[in-house]
Amino acid sequence: MKMIFIGDSITASGKNADPERLGNGYVRMIKEELSQNVNILNKGVNGHRVTDLAIRWERDVINLEPDLVSISIGINDVWRQLDSPDLNQVDVEKFEQIYRDLLSQLTQNNSVKVVLMEPTIIEENPESKGNQMLIPYVETVRKLANECGAWVVPTHDVFMEHLKSYPEMTLTTDGVHMNKKGNLLMAQTWLKETKDLLADYF
């Protein structure tokens, strides 16, 4: 089975310094739990938004003919609105339109399995402005997954619950990028939600 994980720096997680190009984040942790019959490609790129995924979608996904595609995108679409307000922004309507188009290209091949990960968090405070702004993007991911029959990994919900239950335990290095505990929580949540889908590969 060929699996592609595509997204931003949370997915990339230092892959450029890794000879295996898997990085040191949740993608590697998932790989370590699956059998040797699984070929995992990490296509995360630092700073990317859904608009950037669209530019490289054919090269990094379609042309590689994967059996499964896992998508984690949305953090920078919101974060850039906070830290780079002069940038051409991706509002939730544009996010939904582009994301839907990318998924439609995948679902033309009925054999491709699709996994959508909710965007995680912006600051380790459930009430932060970034987390409030993320809500419609998270809802959009769920909506699109329902439309195309994809699996949803509820990373946002799980992180929110963790922040409320264990406020003393940090999950990120800077409010966005994962530390080891954050990556482990992402990996565990992904594996839990795809357990039935990947039963033959554990």
pTM over the 0.85 mark: yes
For position 114, what pLDDT does the model report? 97
In contact, 46 and 12? CB cutoff 8 Å: yes
Residue 202 in domain: no
For position 107, what pLDDT does the model report? 76
Contacts of 112 (CB under 8 A, 6+ apart): 66, 67, 68, 69, 106
For position 108, what pLDDT does the model report? 79
Residue 201 in domain: no
For position 130, what pLDDT does the model report? 97
Residue 138 in domain: yes
Residue 15 in domain: yes
In contact, 90 and 51? CB cutoff 8 Å: yes
Residue 39 in domain: yes
Residue 11 in domain: yes
CA distances from 84 to 13, 31, 76, 178, 193 (A): 22, 34, 10, 21, 34
Domain span at residue 66? 2-196
* Active site amino acids: 9, 174, 177
What tokens appear for 173 in the block?
């290095």
Number of domains in the chain: 1
Tens-binned pLDDT, residue by residue, of the chain (202 aa): 999 999 999 999 999 999 999 999 999 999 999 988 999 999 999 999 999 999 999 999 999 999 999 999 999 999 999 999 999 999 999 999 999 999 999 977 778 999 999 999 999 999 999 999 999 999 999 999 999 999 999 999 999 999 999 999 999 999 999 999 999 999 999 999 999 999 888 8
- CATH classification of the domain holding 160: 3.40.50.1110
Residue 34 in domain: yes
